[in-house]
Amino acid sequence: MTTPFKSPDIDEKAIRLEKPDDLVMALAHAKAEAIKRKLQDKCLSNKEVEGEPTLLITSDQVMVNRGMIREKPLNEQEAREFIKGYSGNFAVAVGYVLVTNLKTGVQKGEWDKPEIHFHEIPDEVIERVIKVREITNVAGGFRMEHPLAAPYVKEVVGAMDSVMGLPRELTKRLLEEALEDTST
């Protein structure tokens, strides 16, 4: 079994929806369609089409804080604003996982919404955090498992892997459902 990874190479900023649930679902579907086109362009062999099913997993995630959708910050100023908003508050990591069975065309998708509650984050910590690109280059601009950020996470309501972008239990269930469903 191989697990190739392909970038969908889509312009995520071209897809704008007001509701976070709608946005992450639309992005996951757009990624799936883009990758399916890439695979078709490479002319999948009949063996691949007729053999074992190929499953495609796409997902997207945004953070929601104080009613605002927070994607990857565009710059340090935006990262600073995002993190200040989390300080002493909470955010919801709104994610959507989509599994596509490329053999049958069946798609199974679902949202996942863990909450992250934060302690107060001092301004000097925020300034140190925004200088570390690996912390801020994620949805919401705050990689909470990083040693610099972790002490300011008070509580996670939901699974940690959900916050990190791909909920294992949900993904496993969707994979099973996509294999079991023979309808098209």
Q: What is the pLDDT of residues 75-131, one digit of tens each?
A: 999 999 999 999 999 999 999 999 999 999 999 999 999 999 999 999 999 999 998
Number of CB atoms found within 10 A of residue 157's CB: 13
- Of 100, 96, 119, 114, the C-alpha closest to 156 is 114
Domain ranges of the chain: 18-180
Residue with the larger pLDDT of the pair 46 and 71: 71
| pTM across the whole model | 0.87
Residues 6+ apart with CB under 8 A from 109: 25, 28, 29, 96, 97, 98, 99, 174
Residue 27 and residue 12 in contact, taking contact as beta carbons nearer than 8 Å: yes
Question: Could you tell me which CATH class the domain 18-180 is placed in?
Answer: alpha beta
Active site residues: 60
- Residue type, position 110, single letter: E
